[in-house]
Amino acid sequence: MRRRTLYHGPALAALLLALLALLSGCGGGNDTYNPTLAGGSAASFTLRVAPPSATVTQGQAATYTATITGVNGFTAPVSLSVSGLPENATAQFVPPVVTPTANGATSTLTVATGGADAPGDLQGTIRSRAISSPGTYTLTITATSGGVTRRATVQLIVAAAGTPMFALAAAPASQSVAAGGATTYVVTVTGSNGFSSPVDLSVTGLPSGATGAFSPVQVMPTATGATSTLTVATTGSTPAGTSTLTITGASGNLTQQATVSLTVTGGSDPGPAAARWSFDIALDATGRFAYLSDLEAPQIGTVGGIRQFGVGADGALIPLSPPGVSEPKYARSLAAHPTLPFLYAVSYSPDSVYTLHQFRIGEFGALTPLATASVPIPGNFPSAISTPEIIIEPTGKFAFTETHQGTVRAFLVGADGALTPVGEEFSSPNPNAIAVGPATANGRFLYVGTLATTTLSGTYTAVSAFRVAEDGKLTRLADLRTDYSVVGVAVDPTGRFVYATGNRSQGGVSDAAVYQYAINADGTLAANGSVSAGPAPTSGGGGRRHLAVTAHPNGRFLYVASIQGGVYQYGINGDGTLTPLSPASVPTGQFPNAVRISPNGQFAFVVNNIEGVNPIESTVSRYRVNGDGTLTPL
């Protein structure tokens, strides 16, 4: 009779532990086995190696990244080794011993296939001149710490010497971005041995809600390296954490890969707490309430209206109840009265009718239409993107809009908040941005920037100056011709300087720029140079506001939200020139369209408009304004 051995109590637990230890050393691919023991979770680690495959010609070297992640507080040193190498190949881990972290610690494995100095030759420890034979090899990477072992397998393909080949590299190795923001990597594709076929690029491993786009998506390799820019855009709902992105280049049967790291942090309120398709944000005079425009577009799931929020002591946006008003359906531009509880919105409709809407702000932030709910705005505007702006003069006495018929329209603001037209004045072709300064000893002045317009005498761009009379009527003073299309205008709170944004070209190089002007005693402008505002915007995100600009209420700082991503921050010097702060910019969400500072100067808000997705999602990036003017994402 066979004798049976029965295990129970401590003996059974010991047997289970032994079996688990045995299992932990088995398996191929990337090993993420994590034993959980009765009575709690054991401290352990996982091993992941990327890319899963690399192709090189004889004598060349391939690199892999091993990531060791601590689980349940595991921090013991982990030793790395590799087996399965081709003949005459050498390998080196840098570093060879890794201390795991919860976010993952890395080591770079370089495998040299002979024919040249191996990695260790830097210390004179390894010499290998013979080359490895062509073929496909499976490498096993082993990570060991005490009694815990993890293994992962990758593929190494060695092609015959002289085979046309391309190599793929990506930089920087890691990027960090606030949720709702975007960041970029540069991918370099280098051809060797006469390789001349196009390489298609793709990316995997993106976190939830993030998208990746290459420009260009297909690259023709060169011996010195051809590049493509990978832009990774996150949404407000993208979870915080670190992801490993695998960038793949494919050409025929040949595939190469490179890995980079993406860390997503907080910083934007998600779409559900904002709006679906928004172009503007306004804060009431007290700074307690914020309002977001929202365009109706049933085909992409947006319903239109104005969303309303409370502003928390920490700058958080807190949806009110009700969450907003449903009319106007096509709200685009917003402005709050600087001293009274009124909000104004400009909307467009599909039949090209443009209307100015008037609301009272209730004690708890809710909007109520005034008795005269709307005022028509004459003009022919091609779309929501070019809907006129509404601005309120600093004392709250007058409001102004520009029209694409080439005029500026003035309104008197009544004690009940109602707007009464007081006339309009011809500006210049295609007015696009408008700003008004405070009343000074020299009077009150308004400035309008124009987009490039082709006229009989050539292309016309300018910043036009107007005097605002005591009854609000406008007198055109002079146009200061520019060599750029004006997409944003701001007047500093002291009424001494004007800043306009647009693209700049110097020595064949284009960038975005802030143009600086001093206001003369008669209200006309004197040019005072320009400073960079990052890369030149290209497309997407809201057209006319791709370089939104605003000044801080204290008159010491200026901010520009570039559609390329980022708020550029400057100090305003005594002569009106700008000095970039450090850092020169802070990240935003994708395609920022508007930047506003709270009335007390403590917070900044940027509206981001993520286009190209269905439905469109808008987010609001929030920042604390520090004493030196720099912005800290919240």
Both 535 and 454 in one domain: the answer is yes
Indicate whether 5 belongs to any domain.
Answer: no
| C-alpha to C-alpha distance for 525 and 535, rounded to whole angstroms | 26
Both 156 and 170 in one domain: the answer is no
Both 371 and 257 in one domain: the answer is no
Q: Which residues contact 343 (CB under 8 A, 6 or more apart)?
A: 282, 284, 291, 306, 334, 335, 336, 337, 358, 359, 361, 367
Task: Single out the residue in 141, 161, 181 at which a domain terminates.
Answer: 161
Both 361 and 432 in one domain: the answer is yes
Q: Going by DSSP bridges, is the β-strand pair 53-57/148-159 parallel, antiparallel, or unpaired?
A: parallel
What is the residue range of 415's domain?
A: 268-633
Token code pair at residue 623: 């920042």
pTM, to two decimals: 0.59
Both 609 and 529 in one domain: the answer is yes
| C-alpha to C-alpha distance for 472 and 438, rounded to whole angstroms | 13
pLDDT digits (tens, 9 = 90+) for 347-363: 877 666 778 899 999 98
Both 253 and 299 in one domain: the answer is no
Do 264 and 245 meet the contact criterion of CB atoms below 8 Å apart?
no
| C-alpha to C-alpha distance for 478 and 492, rounded to whole angstroms | 20
> In terms of DSSP H, where are the helices of 252-381?
none
C-alpha pair distances (Å), 494 with each of 418, 436, 519, 550:
27, 11, 11, 13
| C-alpha to C-alpha distance for 289 and 220, rounded to whole angstroms | 52
Task: Single out the residue in 265, 293, 320 at which a domain terminates.
Answer: 265
Q: Is the peptide bond before 319 cis (omega within 30 degrees of 0)?
A: no
Both 446 and 561 in one domain: the answer is yes
Range 321-350 burial, b when 16+ CB lie within 10 A, else e: eeebbebbbbbbbbbbbeebbbbbbbbbee
Range 225-242 burial, b when 16+ CB lie within 10 A, else e: bbebebbbbbbbbbeeeb
| C-alpha to C-alpha distance for 556 and 570, rounded to whole angstroms | 9
Do 193 and 165 meet the contact criterion of CB atoms below 8 Å apart?
yes
Number of domains within the chain: 3
| C-alpha to C-alpha distance for 285 and 394, rounded to whole angstroms | 11
Indicate whether 29 belongs to any domain.
Answer: no
User: The domain that contains 377 carries what CATH number?
Assistant: 2.130.10.10
CA 566 to chain CA centroid, Å, is: 6
Q: Determine the Cα angle at 545 with ends 497 and 342, to 5°.
A: 75
User: The domain that contains 245 carries what CATH number?
Assistant: 2.60.40.10
Indicate whether 8 belongs to any domain.
Answer: no
Indicate whether 3 belongs to any domain.
Answer: no
Q: Provide the residue type at 612 as one letter.
A: G
| C-alpha to C-alpha distance for 229 and 216, rounded to whole angstroms | 7
| C-alpha to C-alpha distance for 593 and 613, rounded to whole angstroms | 17
Indicate whether 9 belongs to any domain.
Answer: no
Both 122 and 203 in one domain: the answer is no
Both 157 and 174 in one domain: the answer is no
Q: Provide the residue type at 550 as one letter.
A: T
Listed as ranges, residues in the chain with pLDDT below 70 are: 1-42, 115-129, 236-237, 266-276, 296-303, 350-352, 378-387, 404-405, 427-429, 453-459, 506-508, 537-545, 610-617
Helix (H) or strand (E) holding 12: helix 10-24
C-alpha pair distances (Å), 489 with each of 109, 149, 172, 343, 435:
53, 62, 35, 21, 6
| C-alpha to C-alpha distance for 87 and 243, rounded to whole angstroms | 35
Q: Which residues contact 369 (CB under 8 A, 6 or more apart)?
A: 325, 327, 357, 358, 359, 360
> In terms of DSSP H, where are the helices of 269-397?
none
Total count of residues recorded for the chain: 634
Q: Of 512, 492, 493, whose CA–CA distance to 501 is shortest?
A: 512
Both 170 and 59 in one domain: the answer is no
pLDDT digits (tens, 9 = 90+) for 234-276: 876 677 788 889 999 999 888 899 989 898 876 444 333 345 6
Strand partners, 171: 186
Task: Single out the residue in 248, 265, 282 at which a domain terminates.
Answer: 265
Indicate whether 14 belongs to any domain.
Answer: no
Both 138 and 156 in one domain: the answer is yes
Indicate whether 510 belongs to any domain.
Answer: yes
Cα four-point dihedral sign 23, 27, 31, 33: negative
Q: Going by DSSP bridges, is the β-strand pair 453-455/36-37 parallel, antiparallel, or unpaired?
A: unpaired
DSSP 86: P
Do 557 and 629 meet the contact criterion of CB atoms below 8 Å apart?
yes
Both 95 and 171 in one domain: the answer is no
The pLDDT score that the predictor gives to residue 557 is 97
| C-alpha to C-alpha distance for 136 and 138, rounded to whole angstroms | 7
Q: How many C-beta atoms surround the C-beta of residue 223 within 10 A?
A: 11
Q: Which residues contact 561 (CB under 8 A, 6 or more apart)?
A: 547, 548, 549, 567, 568, 588, 592, 593, 594, 595, 606
Do 105 and 79 meet the contact criterion of CB atoms below 8 Å apart?
no
Helix (H) or strand (E) holding 17: helix 10-24
Indicate whether 12 belongs to any domain.
Answer: no
